[in-house]
A and B are shown apart, each in its own frame.
Chain A
Amino acid sequence: MNLDYAGLFRALAPETAIVVGALAVLGVDLTLLRGRSLATRMNVAALISALSVLVAFMLNGTCPCGRCWVGASGPVFGGALMFDSLANATRGGILGLVLLTIGVSTGARINRNPAEYLSILLFATVGFLLMAAAQQLLVAFLSLELASLSLYILAGFDKTRPDSAEAGLKYFLFGGMSAAFLLFGFSLLYGLTGSIELNHVADGLRHQGISPLLIVALVMVIVAFGFKAAAAPFHLWAPDAYQGAPTPSAALIASASKLAGIVFFARLLWSGLGFSAGNVSYAFTSVGWLPIVAVLSGVSMFVGNLAALAQTNVRRLLAYSAISHAGILLLGLIAVSRNGTSPIFYYATTYGIATAGAFGVIGVLERQGGCDSISDLAGLYRRSPLLAGCLMVFILSLAGVPPLAGFFGKFYVFAATLKLAGLAGVAGWLTILAILFSAVALYYYMVVLKQALVVAPAKDATPVRVPIAAAVTLVLAAIAIVAFGIWPSVLLGAV
């Protein structure tokens, strides 16, 4: 095995920057900011976190020469990590989404321990970054756990509300269970192939064909995937977690965690288990994991969109919308064999920006009087034109209205699945289902926008004061949604 420690260090420079940032946030808060007001501590912590994310963003990337300050491309450290264009683009996207989440957290209500909150957020980021490049089952599992454990804590962070504890506990119990499934699946894969390297696993499986043991392993891995992507029927944690968790935590779970998770499983399923994928181009004729993913995709779109129609709580609505979007992401995953990973990368990134932005708007409103039900948004255009405008961009992008990025995300995914076998096969039927449900989704998104833009404000409503950092973040996110919609090649070309 080729163990290049210097290469590993160069490749993991972004992670190092983030970890140093996380420790600096904790250290500065502990030593220099004792007895200061919470607002000061929050702002300093956010500033250091944002700086470390920016440094990590600059250090991210690969260079073929292998001598300069960024890492070499290709497998690193004996194949434990894989730095291809997908990994680099995803790591860039994750860092962007985390920066957005940090901006959101400056506007949201975090009533204690701001430094610990942001440092745990940064540790979660390290997990996401490793997930995007992991190519060895052990590193993959540990990076997933690093991210998940941080997210459980972030979800249960607000001790003043029982909802938050419920969110944290539910997320933790479901997550722990799915981690056990994933580990069981991984150990069966190791037992079948004698290796934890994804390319050796792929080699081993190519000569074996489908055995019952392999089917058990595949089902276990897919169960864990379904949980991570919040795909039905493994979605039960999502509405409670999104509703109860502090707003920035919910934004992170819905954005960066989703992007890292989908790339992680795309790599695992296609480059590791690609030979046992099966086929869904025409019908459920062959055994493999693709048919299961196809079923999950269809059920997620069905459950997510129909349940979202009945929601009155904004966060629950976003949660069910996340489930329906997970269905479309899974549909994109099916088409990776033919079209590469750029459609799902584009979709997950732009979806992450839009949904984290929407959570950001809700977070600012929550701090100033609450924003539980959709009717609390009434008259937002009067109370804060800025927030109303940003919310409009985010919601329209989630709904998939051109020329925003959400439309092109759907367009590329649908185009990719239709290229598989036209409208004839399972992939084609799912695409038609997805297009039909997009129309359904437009309704519940419009209900939100109607409250925010048309309905008059309540008599006692006051103007909303938006913290400057949060305002800048939300405006930048809205601009990004428009810009990526107009120039999708910026993201598509990165993969």
Chain B
Amino acid sequence: MSNSLFYFFAALTLLSAGAVVFLRNAVAAALSFFVSLCCTGVLFVMLDAYLLAFMLILVYAGAVVALFLFIIMLLDMQGGTRKPFTKASMVASAIAGALLLVGVGVFAKHSEFAATAATLPADSSFSTDLKVYGASLFTTYLLPVQVIGFLLLIAMLGVIVLSKRFDGAEDIQ
């Protein structure tokens, strides 16, 4: 049962992810992205990673996709009139896809997933409890959280500097 559920949602994830790339309508693409994220969330639930699933839906599906849709509608983007694929890009992507397929095939033929997964030690510090998660964010992972804070500051600075129009820009002499 669980296996067939996994295959169903994995296929749905991939299909909707493909639709994000192939759909011409930007709103439809954003909505397929939403479907893809929700299916990924279901996959996480099946792995007992409830917190991760919850975060994914809340942050990505809730906030990020909503922002995408907002901006798409604000700018009224309907996709260009230009043909999305030229002959050269189609040939190149076909070759790249074939190479990838060969790589995946060779990999799948020789892979030993079962062996490596079984040898993994159970991580005791890992929990789906929100309290444990929050505590580890501010103890074990204090430094990464701080670094992410500065990362966001830089992103904000960069957006302001690169997009705002400043008057009186002149050369320093």
Chain A interface residues (CB < 8 Å from chain B): 1, 3, 5, 8, 19, 37-39, 42, 77-78, 80-81, 109-114, 116-117, 119-120, 123, 126, 130, 138-139, 142-143, 145-146, 149-150, 152-153, 156-157, 159-160, 168, 191-192, 194, 208, 211-213, 216, 367
Contacts and interface: CB of A to CB of B under 8 A. Distances in A.
Interface string B153-173: 111011011100010011111
Contacts of B67: none
B140 A139 contact: no
B147 A139 contact: yes
Contact of B157 (A114, A119, A138): A119
Interface residues of B, number: 35
A454 B142 CA distance: 58
A98 to B, nearest CB: 16
B32 to A, nearest CB: 20
5 contacts: A81-B143, A114-B172, A120-B158, A153-B154, A213-B112
B3 interface: no
B53 to A, nearest CB: 17
Contact of B150 (A116, A126, A159): A126
B172 A38 contact: yes
B20 to A, nearest CB: 16
A114 B5 CA distance: 56
A237 B110 CA distance: 35
A19 B146 CA distance: 12
Contact of B172 (A110, A119, A160): A110
A138 B169 contact: no
B103 to A, nearest CB: 9
Contacts of A3: 139-140, 142
Given A8-B143, A139-B144, A212-B112, A39 B172 contact: yes
B171 A367 contact: yes
Given A139-B144, A153-B162, A19 B171 contact: no
Contacts of A216: 107
A149 B155 contact: yes
A110 B120 CA distance: 53
B151 A149 contact: yes
Given A123-B150, A212-B107, A113 B144 contact: no
